Each structure stands twice: as structure tokens, then as C-alpha cells.
Amino acid sequence: MPIARATDVEYQSAIVAVEGNPEFDIAIDTAGRKIDVGELVDADYQVGRRLLGGFGFIDEPTMTIDIFRRPSHRST
């Protein structure tokens, strides 16, 4: 899913929060700076209990997230 970007602006900032799920392994690759949970609250984001990280960007937000389903175990 692409990160929203403004056009025809001189300056842009962004905050991205990533939440996980116990069924998935998630790997985050970003040059964004890690932000404090308080900054997410200031952005009117309700922090969930599965928060993996919040990241801040200036100008060009770039982030890659790889999601892998964990192997399931069959009950016997």
C-alpha cells in the first residue's frame, strides 16, 4: 500500500504506524526515524496493543514491509 504524498509542496512530513498480528511475521525496512508513542497520540491515532513501531518522515517517506504467514499447527 503506497504512502500518501502531496504534490506541488515545498515541505512534507508523515507519520506511519505499523501494527502486527500473531498469525504473521512482519519485517519493516525504513529510513524513517522511530517515534515515541506520544507522537502517535498527538496525531489522533489510537495506539493498539499490537503496535510494532511508529516512524516519522520528512520529505520522501519510504518504507518496505514484508509479511509472512506463520506455519500453522494442526491439532491432533
- Per-residue pLDDT at 16 exceeds 80: yes
Q: What is the pLDDT of residue 73?
A: 63
Q: What is the pTM of this model?
A: 0.74
Instruction: Give the position of cell 512482519.
Output: 26
Q: What is the pLDDT of residue 4?
A: 75
- Per-residue pLDDT at 1 exceeds 70: no
Q: How confident is the model at residue 67 (pLDDT cuts 50, 70, 90)?
A: very high
**pLDDT tens readout for residues 24-63:** 999 999 999 999 888 887 777 888 889 899 999 987 778 8
